[in-house]
Amino acid sequence: MKQTNLSIFIPHVGCTHMCSFCDQKSITGERSAPTAEQVRALIEEQAAHLSERGMIAEIAFFGGSFTAIPRGYMLELLDTAKVAVEEFPCYTGIRCSTRPDCVDEEVADILKRYGVTAVELGAQSMNEEVLLANDRGHTAEDIRRAAALIKQSGIELGLQMMTGLYKDTPERCLETADEFIKLSPKTVRIYPTVILKNTRLGELFSRGEYKSFGFDETVELCAKLLRKFEKNGIRVIRLGLHASPEVEREMLGGVYHPALREIVESRIFLRDMLSRLAKLEKGYHLIYTDPRNISKAVGQKKCNIKALAELGYEIDILPLNGEYLLIK
């Protein structure tokens, strides 16, 4: 069965800090937090759709700092989700995202008691200067401590990072990835910074005091990050913000593309093709790959084929089941 998330956004209601990049209304498109009754209605409605399509899902509370919301409200939502997991076979668990400094032993015990299966920490960076410059309100040590508590509770750990923040560098992003790997998360999300109106980053950007990474620089960086995580057995379950008219309307700069992951994976494929072609004579070659990889190998608007042609390699790409990359 295909696994997905039933995402329920709890926007901004639990956040204890206004981070430099944050405008949750633009990111989530939500204006108010749902009641437990509304969550129950959504869960029931979606259960039928999931069952019809033969899918399973985790009930996922995203959009804010779930473990920092008023305790009574959090318990209402957890109880609603727990009952649904017990009642509907299509729901396999409960997932939430939160801040690293909003997880302690008491919180970890509550999450475990209600059957939470995964917690994603919005870490963003492991560099102290970057965390401070972006008003995160927590340290790298807070991330390490929260990650340890989650894992000790038997809950799956997920980590979220951002690239291109104020005072960030590609080298610092790669160092953050290395620090993440030491924490052994099951999953990672990578979010290149999108500069939004009505944020501190937006003000810094408008005054010319801050410039995020460029698009091509971000693609190159994310290609390195994706490969680094995958080599260490860590799944990258999201790369880039979801497509959103709110974000498109409110963004001032940064990197946003609805197909960013495919562009990044295509760049990785180009690097792999170049590595192997460099050992062969320039000229015409046939490249075989699994049908699922064809679009990545070709690249958007045939950019990979064009890039190789400029280097003297004329290629055709053909499907071959089960093959990653075979060149003749």
Residue that has been written with the tokens 């963003």 in this structure: 124
Interval 146-162: pLDDT, tens? 999 999 999 999 999 99
Q: Are 88 and 81 in contact (CB under 8 A)?
A: no
Interval 242-259: pLDDT, tens? 888 888 899 999 999 999
Q: Are 321 and 290 in contact (CB under 8 A)?
A: yes
Between strands 235-239 and 251-254, the pairing is: unpaired
Token pair for 17 = 């800090």
pTM above 0.95, yes or no: no
Token pair for 249 = 């309307």
* Three-state secondary structure call for residue 244: coil
* Three-state secondary structure call for residue 265: helix
Token pair for 40 = 């129950």
As a whole number of angstroms, the distance between CA 91 and CA 132 comes to 39
Whole-number pLDDT of residue 256: 94
Whole-number pLDDT of residue 30: 47
Whole-number pLDDT of residue 14: 56
Give the CA angle between residues 251, 257, 260 to the nearest 5°.
Answer: 145
Residue spans of the chain under pLDDT 50? 26, 28-30
Domain spans, the chain: 2-258, 269-327
Superfamily of domain 2-258: Aldolase class I (3.20.20.70)
Strand partners of residue 319 = 289
